[in-house]
Amino acid sequence: MRRHPWLTSALTLAFATGLTAVATTAQAAAGCQVTYTVTNQWQGGFGAGVTITNLGDPLTGWQLSWSFPAGQTVTQLWGGTVTQSGAQVTVANAAYNGAIATGGTATFGFNGSWTSSNPAPAAFSLNGVACTGSVPTTSPTGSPTTSPTASPTASPTPSDPTTPPAPTSFSNPVVWQDFADGDIIRVGNVFYYSASTMHYSPGAPILRSYDLVNWEYAGHSVPRLDFDSAAYDLSGGRAYVKGIWASAFNYRPSNSTYYWLGCTEFNRTYVYASTSVTGGWGKKARINKCYYDAGLLFDNDIPYVAYGNTTISVAQLSADLTSEVRSQTVYTTPSSIGTLEGSRMYKRGNYYYIWLTRPANGQYVLRSTSPWGPYEQRQVLLNLPGPISGGGVPHQGGLVQTQNGDWWYMAFTDAYPGGRMPTLAPITWSGDGWPVLQTVNGRWGSSYPRPNLPWHPLASMTGTDTFTAGVLGPQWEWNHNPDTTKFSVGNGLRLSTATVTNDLYNARNTLTRRIQGPSSTATVQLDYTGMANGDRAGLAMLRDQSAWIGIRKDNGATRVSMTGGLTMSTSGWTTTGTGAEQAGAAVSGGKIWLRVSANIQPGSGRTATFSYSTNGSTFSPLGPAFTLSSDWQFFMGYRFGVFNYATSALGGSVTVNQFAVS
């Protein structure tokens, strides 16, 4: 999401409040202070930290409650568990911070969403007792009296982004969204993760983190799929399951520049560059050779690329990364292993390492004292049980060293129908210089101790977008390149029909967003007053087997429809079914809320359900549950997709006033 500089400073309010402890043999003396800090704010979202100071007897557990004055919503919380009903929020302690000694503190943090404004809560209660701003005492007659406490004051703006303290452990996957084939780097104190996007545009998304556990959208390396083919524009062809996969991402300190490098369609490689992660990316070169599943290393400012499938090679590029200087085969995978690919190249000490995956169940590493070999080989993992129930073996991805000297491995775990989820584990090094994955009870841990890194507020990867900014945020990607003349943002998302077709897979300007696992709900508020006869607009569960809920306008009448049976073949990804209505109802009034709730836990038989509302509060189910495909061949997982296309003639439009993922 785009941030406004005037909102990024921390806003802090301290409340002197009272509490009653949960007593056992005697009623505890009571009192507390709550500091509520808005640590970061951007259009539609914010981050906050909360500190509870116990002024009474020791507590062994707590629940803090408050009411948001402007309808804000907690979207992600750490340091406790949250429940919210309307404006009312209750946070219960986590296992590690439930005990608060007298004078002690407990902290938690969260990301939230807001619409019109974001005022701080006016009052808190702890363990069901309203906070009074005083510590109750007992008078000689036994009647309660109060002792004064400090008046509410504004706390100083914290300058240390490590507050509130982070939990002591983390759970995998660290991102439960579809970000596969990752390349991970550190620049200073910031970590960046780049991933595959196939036919989605902009491509090669970049995530940002300060602790390897919490991540936010930061940008894209490829602003448009400018890959010398009109198929990426859905013009004269289609590019499904082509485009961007297993690409390389790195930073060159000598010129303070980020580089992205990727092979498309097995025959050409593109290089993009920028001095900023968040923008300014441009195509730098086309090299008429495929650096398949490439990894990029700058060694003494010389760019090397490791690449290949089974036969692994290393190339040296020119200083400006626009041409090849030299290339050499450095390793041939023995038949006993099978296939190795997904190269990442590193240098540690005197050794060069090429990190390789055996799809989809193993990880290997090569080592040499020269980039040109000869290389030795070691197995890192094979058939290792993963951390996601029903998911696959973590593999591929890359290594990164923290500023403290620790090493971590960010892989992905196959978890269809949702896709492939980033999964984190620590790496140590053997005495003779080989990387060793740290396991938990013989498997990739479902949790590990957190990296020794500071906490930092981030934008939520879920939440609500009202499309009031002048550009789309980095959480959004189009199905193929959009027709930029047929959409606008700033006063909602206006989608004019860009294609005349009866096939959603051929329709341009379908805007997509990843689904948050293990389950989540997307709701769009749609103004359909501008639709023309024959138009179809709505919200889809988008993949090679798809379904949607939306508005059909025919002969001047509108109806809400749940449509299923949209299918592609796995041979060439051609359309084999354009869909048929499975349920519908007449609607009028020009405004509708469309909703899909999706369970993307790994495994077969997972479903999505559709519903709609004409008032934004009461939703009616529509149609049968849609069974999601858990096949891997499409590679990308299911996405939420907003679409508007014509079946008769161009000219109609709709406006999406709000899109929420919860």
Mean pLDDT of 198-217: 98
pLDDT, tens only, 471-522: 999 999 999 999 999 999 999 999 999 999 999 999 999 999 999 999 999 9
Which residue has 């060293």 as its token pair?
Answer: 401
C-alpha–C-alpha distance, residues 264 and 227, integer Å: 8
Contacts of 392 (CB under 8 A, 6+ apart): 360, 361, 386, 413, 414, 415, 602
Distance of CA 432 to CAs 347, 351, 373, 412, Å? Answer: 15, 11, 18, 27
Average pLDDT value over all residues in the chain: 89
- For residue 150, is pLDDT > 90? no
Q: Phi and psi (nearest 5°) for 504? A: -55, -35
- For residue 142, is pLDDT > 50? no
- For residue 575, is pLDDT > 90? yes
Mean pLDDT of 310-317: 98
- pLDDT value at residue 146: 33
Higher pLDDT, 125 or 637: 637
Mean pLDDT of 628-655: 98
Highest mean pLDDT among 26-40, 157-171, 303-317: 303-317
- pLDDT value at residue 57: 76
- For residue 25, is pLDDT > 50? no
- State whether residue 485 is helix, strand or coil: helix
- State whether residue 241 is helix, strand or coil: coil
The token pair that represents 31 in the structure block: 């009192």
The token pair that represents 248 in the structure block: 């390389």
- For residue 105, is pLDDT > 70? yes
pLDDT, tens only, 33-68: 888 888 667 667 787 888 888 777 788 898 999 899
- pLDDT value at residue 52: 86
Burial of 430 (0-12, 13-18, 19+ CB in 10 A): exposed
- pLDDT value at residue 116: 81
- pLDDT value at residue 140: 34
pLDDT, tens only, 380-426: 999 999 999 999 999 999 999 999 999 999 999 999 999 999 999 99
Q: Where are the beta strands (DSSP E) in 23-158?
A: 32-42, 45-54, 63-67, 73-78, 80-85, 88-93, 105-113, 124-126, 129-130, 134-138, 144-148
C-alpha–C-alpha distance, residues 312 and 331, integer Å: 5
- pLDDT value at residue 38: 80
- pLDDT value at residue 101: 76
Highest mean pLDDT among 47-61, 95-109, 143-157, 614-628: 614-628
- pLDDT value at residue 96: 67
- pLDDT value at residue 463: 94
The percentage of the chain sitting over the pLDDT mark of 70, rounded to a whole number, equals: 89
14 neighbors 154 (Cβ within 8 angstroms): yes
- For residue 19, is pLDDT > 80? no
- For residue 218, is pLDDT > 50? yes
- For residue 161, is pLDDT > 70? no
Tell me the β-bridge partners of 63: 92
C-alpha–C-alpha distance, residues 604 and 567, integer Å: 17
Mean pLDDT of 276-280: 96
Higher pLDDT, 111 or 375: 375
Mean pLDDT of 327-333: 98
C-alpha–C-alpha distance, residues 213 and 46, integer Å: 18
C-alpha–C-alpha distance, residues 235 and 506, integer Å: 9
How many CB atoms sit inside 10 A of residue 497's CB? 30
pLDDT, tens only, 356-383: 999 999 999 999 999 999 999 999 999 9
Mean pLDDT of 433-457: 95
Q: How confident is the model at residue 547 (pLDDT cuts 50, 70, 90)?
A: very high
Mean pLDDT of 320-348: 98
How many CB atoms sit inside 10 A of residue 327's CB? 15
C-alpha–C-alpha distance, residues 322 and 270, integer Å: 9
pLDDT, tens only, 120-136: 998 998 887 776 655 54
- pLDDT value at residue 30: 57
pLDDT, tens only, 6-17: 333 333 444 333
Amino acid identity, position 558: T
Q: Phi and psi (nearest 5°) for 12? A: -125, 135
Q: Name the DSSP letter for residue 402.
A: -
Mean pLDDT of 582-611: 98
Contacts of 432 (CB under 8 A, 6+ apart): none
- The sheet carrying 124-126 orders its strands as 80-85, 88-93, 63-67, 124-126, 129-130
